[in-house]
Amino acid sequence: MLIIGPPGSGKGTQAERISGRLGVVPISTGDIFRANVKGETPLGIEAKKYMDAGDFVPDSVTNKMVRDRLSESDVENGFLLDGYPRTTAQVEYLDQILADTEEKLDVVLQLTADDEELVSRLLGRAKETGRSDDNEGVIRHRLDLYHQQTEAVVAKYAERGILTQVDGIGGIDEVTDRVLLAIEAAKAV
């Protein structure tokens, strides 16, 4: 399963809740990037340049990281990818990873939210956490990139009939309830 949505839509929060309820491993590329940046690994140093500018980390770096992560034994009973794939090239790479292990995606969950609501949420988060990559200019740039690149990903999964959209606006518990109902409905199809 994977979860898609614009920055600030609550993907990370919902991914943790969904994985806990369904007993699958949450895999967040954002968390992996931040851990590498904090650890000042070569990957982290490279990723930080892009993250600070509000750009996506290049596919070459991201794809290798995801392939390595999906080869670990804790994903045998399922996983929930958060933040990947973001481009159609990454969709194709993920398709190959899954084909190599004879796996397939069951559900692609898209959290939706209004851009102005997202800007407000992310500015609030930046104040609370002191994240250097969250100022209004960078936030709007990230939202523009999301719309330019990720909407093609959403369309690809919609064509395959595995996309489920859920409104990401509301209280955390309210959104979680909507998400779990949508997953159950998708599994029943």
- 69 part of the active site: no
Q: Is 167 annotated as a binding residue?
A: no
Q: Is 90 annotated as a binding residue?
A: yes
- 17 part of the active site: no
Q: Is 67 annotated as a binding residue?
A: no
- 86 part of the active site: yes
**78: phi then psi, degrees, rounded to nearest 5:** 120, 160
Q: How many helices (H) and strands (E) does the chain have?
A: 9, 5
Integer CA distances (angstroms), 68 to 13, 34, 73, 75, 92, in order: 23, 17, 11, 11, 16
- 160 part of the active site: no
Active-site pick, 17, 48, 69, 86? 86
Q: Is 75 annotated as a binding residue?
A: no
Give which of 170, 160, 167 is closest to 181, Cα–Cα.
167
Q: Is 9 annotated as a binding residue?
A: yes
- 11 part of the active site: yes
Give which of 133, 56, 43 is closest to 89, Cα–Cα.
56
Active-site pick, 17, 48, 121, 142? 142
Active-site pick, 11, 17, 48, 69? 11
Q: Is 142 annotated as a binding residue?
A: yes
Active-site pick, 67, 125, 156, 178? 125
> Could you give the strand order of the β-sheet that contains 79-82, starting from the edge strand earlier in sequence?
25-28, 79-82, 2-4, 108-112, 163-167
Q: Is 48 annotated as a binding residue?
A: no
Active-site pick, 67, 131, 156, 178? 131
Q: Is 34 annotated as a binding residue?
A: yes
Q: For residue 25, how many C-alpha atoms fall within 13 Å in the half-sphere facing its CB? A: 13
**Rounded Cα–Cα distance for residues 165 and 87 (Å):** 18
Q: Is 171 annotated as a binding residue?
A: no
Residue numbers belonging to the annotated binding site for ATP: 8-13, 125, 170
- Which residues are identified as catalytic? 11, 86, 125, 131, 142
Residues at the binding site for AMP are 29, 34, 55-57, 83-86, 90, 131, 142
Binding-site residue set: 8-13, 29, 34, 55-57, 83-86, 90, 125, 131, 142, 170
